[in-house]
Amino acid sequence: MNQMGFCGKSGGIMSFDYPQAIRFKCLKCGICCGNTPVKTRHIVLLKTEVEKISEITKSPISEFAVEIMDREPYSYEMAKTSGEGACVFLKDDKCAIYALRPMVCRFYPFELKAMTLLKHKFVVTDECPGVGNGKKLTIDYYRELVRLANCRMKKEQG
């Protein structure tokens, strides 16, 4: 693990650890888009993400998301198809809202976990078959994820 700093919302330096030796390439397998035999996937969404998806797709929020409590900063969870338990926007093994996809989807197979108020850590799931494939990720990859998170959180806070 290596450490990198970035500006937190408080204006202080927030640091994060990240795995240095990870290779990753999306294999477009769709495992991240729904339930697996051993895991129920929760695709959580920010309120601003839900509103943007609704606006662009011209779909009422109730058609693709359900409101959730106690998961701040997330306010919604993506609806899933009955039977397969896949995201309702997964069509023919492709994301129908790829350009609008939620932050949690953009982060996969990584998650940024808060260790303390100013310290975070990237963790990687062992379920993604794309981990170990492709080129080695650089700090710039993680910096871009952090920049995305900061941007989305600022929008969320108004």
Distance CA 34, CA 85 (A): 5
Domain count, the chain: 1
Q: State which residues form the domain around 108.
A: 2-156
pLDDT tens for each residue of 71-119? 889 999 999 998 889 999 999 889 999 999 999 999 999 999 988 878 8
Structure tokens, 43: 């695709």
pTM for this prediction: 0.85
**What is the chain's mean pLDDT, rounded?**
88
Query: Residues 6 or more apart from 127 whose CB is under 8 A from it?
Result: 31, 36, 39, 109
H-only helix segments in the chain: 47-57, 103-107, 139-156
Q: What pLDDT, on the 0 to 100 scale, is given for residue 5?
A: 41
Query: Residues 6 or more apart from 73 whose CB is under 8 A from it?
Result: 46, 153, 156
